[in-house]
Amino acid sequence: MKNKTIKLTISMAAVLGLSAVVMNVKANMTVYQLYLPTGNQYFMTDSTYEKSYDMKYGWTYQGVNWQAPSSGTAVYRTYNPNSGEHFFTTSHYEAAATVKAGWRWDNNGKSVFYSGGQEPVYRLYKSGQPHRYTPNISQVNSWANQGWKKEGIAFYAIYPNQNWSFDTMYYTYSAQKGDVHTPQFDYLNSNGQAISTYQNNNTYASYNNAIYNFNQNLAQVAADADYANWQARQKWSQQLNDLEVNLNQAQATVNAAQAQVKQYQILINQQQTYISEDQKEGLPTLQDQTLLNQYQINLDTANHNLTQTQATYNALLAKKNSLIATGTDYVKLSYNITRSVDNKKVTIHFNQSNKLAGKITNKPSNLTSVLSR
């Protein structure tokens, strides 16, 4: 864009670092914001010359506020030569009323830029203070809480077209909490540089607010998947632990059954020896034979119990080996990213894979954010 023609009129406003200007409006104008601590004033201009000029007189440059369209509703600017305040409005009648009250026109009463687009710029007023203008709804609410009166939307702007940038973090699924990740999108500082931390500034307020809300949603998706992942692994680990406990108990039961079998076998062998000795000496064997028969019954029962307990142990062992062979349960979150042609909309396409008892199911979902609201 070529530089605009600017004519300065020196006045009390110029001494304050302000100016009455004449400018030719061009397409895609970048609107800058400056702040003057003396008087607590905000100033907006699309003129790089005027921006640099005012900075020499104590104004602080706060960055690119938005872009004005090449056509649309005229935005008029007047200024107070006594206080140095600038007033912006799309109402020619309202601007003229300030001039009638002693204010002066900027740009000879012509538009200093245009109102258009989808980004609202709000105006607030507080008795004894200059008007304030901001596209940052969070800033609007903050000022309102400090006693500023909301005067609605002053005009509309085109927010700077920005690229989505993000820190790519791929999923992992170890048996630990905190291991499921999603991309975290970068914010912008007042110079348009990508930063990892949220900044609530006027320059890229809507952009950063949209990124913040999107990152919060992404973090919640990751947290939910991570918790589900942890639960799945805990459940699998608990199953394995329960099997270990049951196996230990089953082994103890098998050992007890084996001890009974061994005990009754010893008693039977001993009783058979008694019967053999009684027969050699011609003594009665009926009592010893009855006892031997009882021992044999007890042995048969003990062998049956041993067979059952051994079968129970073997079944538990097979279940444990199968659980280990199947592998741990898990929740795995994977994703890919797509963007719209105009780069205003970005969508995260998630796929959550759940593995439970060897069976894997997939659950797709999407999260979308739009920069222009």
* 19 in a structural domain: yes
Residue 334 and residue 196 share a domain? yes
Residue 55, in any domain of the structure:
yes
Residue 369 pLDDT exceeds 70: yes
Of 145 and 138, the structure prediction assigns the larger pLDDT to 145
Same domain, 91 and 229: no
Residues 185 and 333 in one domain: yes
Domain count, the chain: 3
CB 86 within 8 A of CB 43: yes
The verdict on 307 and 351 lying in the same domain is no
Quick one: 305 and 333 in the same domain?
no
- The dihedral through the CA atoms of 198, 339, 121, 218 has a sign that is negative
Last residue of some domain: 157, 185, 203?
Answer: 157
**pTM, to two decimals:** 0.54
Question: Is pLDDT of 146 > 60?
Answer: yes
Residue 5 placed within a domain: no
Q: For residue 7, is it within any domain?
A: no
Residue 372 banded pLDDT, cuts 50, 70, 90 = low
Q: Are residues 42 and 180 in the same domain?
A: no
Do the domain assignments include residue 6? no
Q: Which helix (H) or strand (E) holds 264?
A: helix 205-281
Residue 254 in any domain: the answer is: yes
**pLDDT more than 90, % of the chain:** 36
Q: Are residues 337 and 227 in the same domain?
A: yes
Cα-flanking dihedrals φ and ψ of residue 163, to 5°? Answer: -85, 145
**b/e map of 132-168 (b: 16 or more CB within 10 Å)?**
bbbbbeebbeebeeeebeeeeebbbbbbbebebebee
91 and 153: one domain?
yes
Say which CATH number the domain at 287 has.
1.10.287
97-144 pLDDT, tens per residue? 999 999 999 888 899 888 988 778 899 999 888 898 887 777 788 889
Q: Are residues 31 and 127 in the same domain?
A: yes
**Domain-embedded: residue 306:** yes
- More confident call, 21 vs 279: 279
Predicted pLDDT at 209: 85
SS3 of residue 226 by DSSP: helix
Residues 37 and 153 in one domain: yes
The last residue of one of the domains, among 311, 326, 341, is 326
For residue 113, give its domain range.
12-157
**Is it the case that residue 42 has pLDDT exceeding 70?**
yes
Same domain, 212 and 354: yes
Of the three residues 157, 179, 196, the one that is the final residue of a domain is 157
Same domain assignment for residues 59 and 122: yes
Q: What is the pLDDT of residues 218-238, one digit of tens each?
A: 888 888 888 888 888 899 999
